[in-house]
Chain A
Amino acid sequence: MTTSNYATERETTEGRVFTVTGGDWDSVVSGTDPINDERIVVNMGPQHPSTHGVLRLILELEGETVREARSVIGYLHTGIEKNLEYRTWVQGSTFVTRMDYLSPLFNETAYSLAVEKLLGITDEVTERANTIRVLMMELNRISSHLVWLATTGMELGAISIMLYGFREREYILEIFELITGLRMNHAYVRPGGVAQDVPDDAIIKIREFLKLLPKRLKEYEDLLSGQPIWTERTKNVAVLDATGCLALGVTGPVLRSAGLAWDLRKTMPYCGYETYEFGVPTHTDGDVWGRYQVRLAEIRESLKIVEQAVDRLAKPGPVMVADRKIAWPAQLAIGVDGMGNSLEHVAKIMGQSMESLIHHFKLVTEGFRVPPGQVYVGIESPRGELGVHAVSDGGTRPYRVHYREPSFVNLQALPAMAEGGLIADVIAGGASLDPVMGGCDR
C-alpha cells in the first residue's frame, strides 16, 4: 500500500486496482508496468481506410506493440459459389469476374480453363484466344499492382503515389473498355475463348501505354525508393520467410519476396506462357520492402509479355473454339443501337435457317452440357495461386465451383507478420499481402 493521499491501491482477484482522487499520476505510473501489465484490445474496422475492403482486425496491444492479432472476414460474402450452381456454365463468367474486383480477368480465365478442361477442349482453344487472354491478364496484373502501390503508398503516408498509381491504372481500364466494353467485371474471357476480337485502336493504345509506363515506373521509384520515410516504414517490417509462407500457404509476390521463385506461369504453364520470354523477380528479405521491389519488377516483366503478345496479334485468327455446340453462336458487332449480336447473324437465323434459330435459342437459354467429373486448375494471379475446383454432374450448370482465393489464404499470414511488431506495422504488413476482400469473401 502506498501512503499517498491521492491514490490508494489494493489487490483484488482482478489484479491491482487504483482508487484515484486526483494529482496522483506519479503514483499510478509507478505502481504499474505499462510494458508488461497493460494490455488493451483495439478493434480496427470493419470499415477502415487501410483495410482494402471490409476487414476487421482485433488487436491486443501492449503499449504500441501488438501481442495478438486476429482477423475477422466475411463482410463481403455474396454467395457467388452457390449462385453459380443455378446458372449455366457460360453465365458463370459473369459471376466469377465479380469476386476479386482488382483482377477480374484472372477470375474469368481460371474459370474458363477449368470448364475447358472438364469439356476436354483445352487443346482446341485457338492460339489467338490464348494470346488475347495472356495480353489481358498481364495488363490486369499491371493495373492490380498499380492499385497495390497506390493504396499502400497512401496508407504509409505517401499521398502523391496514390494519385499517380490510380492515374496509370485508369489508362489500363480505358484499354479494357476499348476491348471488352467495360472497365471492370468484363465477362470477356468465356469458356472456349474470348467474347470478341481485339479492335485495332486498342492495339495503338496498348503500344502507347508500353512507351509511357516505363517512364512512369522510373518516377515512382524516384519518389519512393530513396525516400527515408518509405524505407523506414518498409525495411525489416512484417517479415515472413519462405518456410512461414509455405506453411501458411502464401503464394505470389509475398512468397517470391522471401526468395522462392515459384510462379505458376513458369512452373505449371497454361495459356501458352511457356512460349513467352520473361523473368520471375525475387527478393531475399521477405519484408514489405522486398514485396515492393518484387511487384515493381513484375510490372516490368508483364510489360515484356504484353509487348510479345501484341506482336503476335498481328496474325489474324478465330478467338473462339470451332465447335458450334460450345461457342456462342454470334460474334458481337456494333449496330445502330450499340453493341449486340451481329446483324448478319440475326438476319440469317431469322430469315433463312430455322435450325440455326433453334440452335441459337438452345445454346443461349439452356447452355452446353459438360461431362461429369472434377478438375482443379491453378493460375498465377497478382496475389498468388488462384485455383478453381469445378465439379460437373453432366448437366448444363456447374454442380460445384470452389475458388481457392489467394486473398483468403494469404490473409491467414497477417497474425504471423503482425504479432510482436508495432501497431503501425500492422498496416504496412497487411497492405503488403495485397488482400482484396471481394475475392477473400466471395
Chain B
Amino acid sequence: MTSPHDKPNDGGVPVPVTPAGASSGAPAEHPPSSPAGRGMFGNQGSGDVSGFGGLVRPRRPIAGASRPFGSYFDEVYDALEEAYPGFADAIEKVVVDRGELTLHIRPERIAEVCQVMRDDLALRFELCSSVSGVDYLGADERRLHVVYQLTSMTYRRRVRLETAVPAEDPHLPSVTSVYPTADWQEREAYDMFGIVFDGHPNLTRILMPDDWEGHPQRKDYPLGGVPVEYKGAEIPPPDKRRSYQ
C-alpha cells in the first residue's frame, strides 16, 4: 500500500490518512494524522536530500480511561450506571483527557442517555451547552461524530457525550425532546455535516441557503475560493497556497 503522502500534494492541503492503529468500528482515538506529523519542513513532492522527510513524529494516543477517573467523574459515571438500565450496552468508551470527561455513547441510545442525565437527581445536567459535529474522515469508519456538552448547574459540572455515525447512514435520534435548545444546533450539524437527527421537528438547513448542495464542514468538502490579483501578482485561494506544516 502506498502512503497518501507519496502522492503529489496539491499545495499542502491536508490529505486524509488512516493513522496507524486506527481501530475500525470503535470511536476514533484521535483525528487522522495530517502531514504535520511527518517530515521536517512540510515540503512534499520534491526531492528530499536532507533525510528529514522520513521523520515521523510520534503521537500520544488518547486511550480509554480506567477507574478511578478522578475528580467528580467517578460520581457521574456511577450515578449514570445506577439510573440507566441500558448502561452497559450504551457506553462504548470513557475518555478522561485534560480534565474533561467524555462518554462515548452508542448513537441510538443518545436521547435516552440525555433524558437520564437531565432528570436523575444525582446527575442533573439541566443545560445542554453545545451540540457540534466533527468529521473524523480517515480515522474512523463511523466518521461523523456528534459532540454534546452538558452542564449541570446544580453541581457545577460539565460532561461531554460523543456519538459516531457512518457517513453512509448518518442517522441518530434527536435530543430536542429532552433539550429543546438542541433544535438549532442539530440543524447546524445537519447543515454542515449532513447528520440526520431522527425526530427533529424541522430538520432543515439553517446557515447555508436552502438549495445548497453538500455539507461544507465535512473534511472532503473543499474550502474553495478564487485566486486574487494584487499588483500583478496572483495569490491562490487559501487551500491552494503553499503551506509550511
Residues of chain A at the chain B interface (Cβ within 8 Å): 73-74, 77, 79, 81-83, 85-87, 117-118, 120, 246-251, 260, 262, 267-268, 362, 365-366, 369, 371-376, 378, 385, 387, 389, 391-397, 399-400, 402, 404, 408-409, 411-412, 441-442
Answer whether residue B132 sits at the interface, using C-beta atoms and an 8 A cutoff.
yes
State A269–B75 Cα separation when bound (angstroms): 22
> Contact residue range for chain B?
35 or more
Indicate if the CB atoms of B30 and A389 lie closer than 8 Å.
no
Given A82-B217, A120-B98, A249-B127, are A372 and B160 also a contact pair (CB < 8 Å)? no
Indicate if the CB atoms of A389 and B132 lie closer than 8 Å.
yes
**Considering only CB atoms, which chain B residue lies closest to A364 in the complex?**
B244
Indicate if the CB atoms of B180 and A394 lie closer than 8 Å.
no
State A251–B128 Cα separation when bound (angstroms): 11
What are 19 A-B pairs at a CB distance below 8 A?
Answer: A74-B206, A86-B239, A117-B99, A118-B98, A120-B98, A246-B153, A248-B180, A249-B181, A251-B127, A268-B156, A366-B245, A371-B59, A372-B30, A376-B100, A389-B147, A400-B134, A402-B134, A412-B180, A412-B184
Answer whether residue B223 sits at the interface, using C-beta atoms and an 8 A cutoff.
yes
Residues of chain B at the chain A interface (Cβ within 8 Å): 14, 30-37, 42, 57, 59-60, 62, 97-100, 102, 126-130, 132-135, 147, 149, 151, 153, 156, 158, 160, 179-185, 188, 192, 205-209, 216-217, 223, 238-239, 244-245
Given A267-B156, A400-B135, are A369 and B36 also a contact pair (CB < 8 Å)? yes
Instruction: Identify the interface centre among A81, A249, A375: most chain B CB within 10 Å of its CB.
Output: A249
Indicate if the CB atoms of B31 and A249 lie closer than 8 Å.
no
Indicate if the CB atoms of B207 and A441 lie closer than 8 Å.
yes
A-B contact count (CB 8 A): 153
Indicate if the CB atoms of B134 and A391 lie closer than 8 Å.
yes
Indicate if the CB atoms of A402 and B223 lie closer than 8 Å.
no
**Considering only CB atoms, which chain A residue lies closest to B29 in the complex?**
A372
Given A249-B128, A387-B129, are A409 and B31 also a contact pair (CB < 8 Å)? no
Indicate if the CB atoms of A372 and B223 lie closer than 8 Å.
no
Q: Which residues of A contact B208 (CB under 8 A)?
A: 74, 77
Indicate if the CB atoms of A366 and B98 lie closer than 8 Å.
no
Indicate if the CB atoms of A387 and B127 lie closer than 8 Å.
no
Q: Which residues of A contact B147 (CB under 8 A)?
A: 374, 389, 402
Indicate if the CB atoms of B33 and A394 lie closer than 8 Å.
yes
Q: Which residues of B contact A77 (CB under 8 A)?
A: 207-208
Rounded to whole Å, the gap between the CB of B114 and the closest CB of chain A is: 13
Indicate if the CB atoms of B127 and A246 lie closer than 8 Å.
yes
Given A83-B238, A372-B59, are A393 and B34 also a contact pair (CB < 8 Å)? yes
Indicate if the CB atoms of B36 and A86 lie closer than 8 Å.
no
Give the 9 A-B CB pairs with smallest separation, nearest first. Answer: A249-B181, A395-B36, A393-B31, A402-B132, A404-B130, A372-B30, A366-B244, A395-B34, A74-B207
Rounded to whole Å, the gap between the CB of B136 and the closest CB of chain A is: 9
Given A372-B31, A412-B181, A412-B183, are A81 and B217 also a contact pair (CB < 8 Å)? yes
Rounded to whole Å, the gap between the CB of A431 and the closest CB of chain B is: 20
**Considering only CB atoms, which chain A residue lies closest to B217 in the complex?**
A82
Rounded to whole Å, the gap between the CB of A391 and the closest CB of chain B is: 6
Given contacts A83-B223, A260-B153, 16 further A-B pairs with CB under 8 A are: A73-B206, A74-B205, A81-B217, A82-B217, A82-B223, A249-B129, A268-B156, A372-B31, A387-B149, A391-B134, A393-B31, A394-B30, A394-B37, A396-B36, A399-B134, A408-B188
Q: Which residues of B contact A120 (CB under 8 A)?
A: 98
State A183–B34 Cα separation when bound (angstroms): 37
State A393–B17 Cα separation when bound (angstroms): 12
**Considering only CB atoms, which chain A residue lies closest to B130 in the complex?**
A404
B245 contact from A372, A373, A395, A408, Cβ within 8 A: A395
Q: Which residues of B contact A395 (CB under 8 A)?
A: 14, 34-37, 245
